[in-house]
Amino acid sequence: MNRKYNFSAGPAVLPVEVLERARDELLDWQGSGMSVMEMSHRGKEFISIAERAEADLRELMSIPANYKVLFLQGGATSQFAMVPINLLRGRGKADYINTGAWSKKAIAEAKRFCEVGVAASSEAQKFMTVPAFDNWQLNADAAYVHYTPNETIGGVEFHWIPETGDVPLVADMSSTILSRPVDVNKYGVIYAGAQKNIGPAGLTVVIVRDDLIGEPLPGMPAMFDYKTYADSDSMANTPPTYSWYLAGLVFDWLKQRGGLRAMAEINERKSQKLYAAIDASEFYANPVDPACRSRMNVPFTLADASLDRDFLSEARTAGLLTLKGHRSVGGMRASIYNAMPESGVDILIEFMADFERRNG
């Protein structure tokens, strides 16, 4: 097996143990004589897979009983619309925090449905920091407050949870979910595309408090109503069954590794050693405010941008893949989600040091 270290921001690396188990079960899931891809989503075999996956996710995240867990299609970007459709509930305004590319996309979509108040923004700081909470201009009459705890492109992360009082807090946790413990009680809605820390692309997980279900905007399609999925155990139509199954394998893998507290320690160690290597160098730089650096996505630049192509080419030869930064930012980006082993970060650091010695 010729596995390399894949630093892609998403679809991202999956645990080898999960891939091996999926391989072993591909043709015949636990004696059923069928692949999971071939199963009826309403058959007892897949129902057992779905129920186990939800139970494991609830255990990992300590999700309270008064929250529904929905397994949906459409990606996190569909939630940019589904959140206002379901949460406006007679109000005409929602507050958004603008910290980068994904926040801006969420804001643009929400403007189709309501007045958007940008309660805080770090755009003037080129999205290299998180706005200080003391400066937020929150509206007590807002239907909800939306923020992006981690911006994958800019590598900026909240290391705290905003306090929004009685106004429901909504979070796009696509790139941080399951990377550390989180107090679900502080949120009205948490949503996440799967293809970073949950599993393969095609699945979106939504965790929504019960009291926020059931009053969508008038005239909206039934398939954009959270109640449609809450009432059908996410099976109002055929769900992304194989992605759901693989997500369940990832949840089980996380439990076997000690859960989210254990993952938080590993992720902290991985990110800190990479940032330390960057900070100790005059050849590499990270532009993000150190207090807001992402533990999942680490962007960095070379002192001489003309060396970028050589860096990427040599990195690929060394088995280090998908390190090119987002086109809007440039430079490099190492995404080090849960499934990226610590050895991958160590080898990346060694390669960076060697490249600097030869080119610095």
| Residues identified as active-site | 102, 172, 196
Cis peptide preceding 11, ω within 30 of 0: yes
Element housing 247 (H / E): helix 241-256
CB 5 within 8 A of CB 320: yes
Among residues 18, 64, 340, which one has the least CA distance to residue 182?
64
Query: Which pairing describes strands 332-335 and 156-157: parallel, antiparallel, or unpaired?
Result: unpaired
CA 256 to CA 266: how far, in whole Å? 14
- DSSP character for 168? P
Among residues 141, 136, 101, which one has the least CA distance to residue 119?
136
242's CB contacts (< 8 A; 6+ apart) are: 36, 37, 200, 202
CB 172 within 8 A of CB 106: yes
CA 358 to CA 360: how far, in whole Å? 6
Element housing 246 (H / E): helix 241-256
DSSP notation for 69-112: EEEESSHHHHHHHHHHHHH-TT--EEEEEE-SHHHHHHHHHHTT
Write out the two tokens for 74: 């459409």
CB 206 within 8 A of CB 87: no
Q: Count CA atoms closer than 13 A to 87's CA, side-chain side.
A: 28
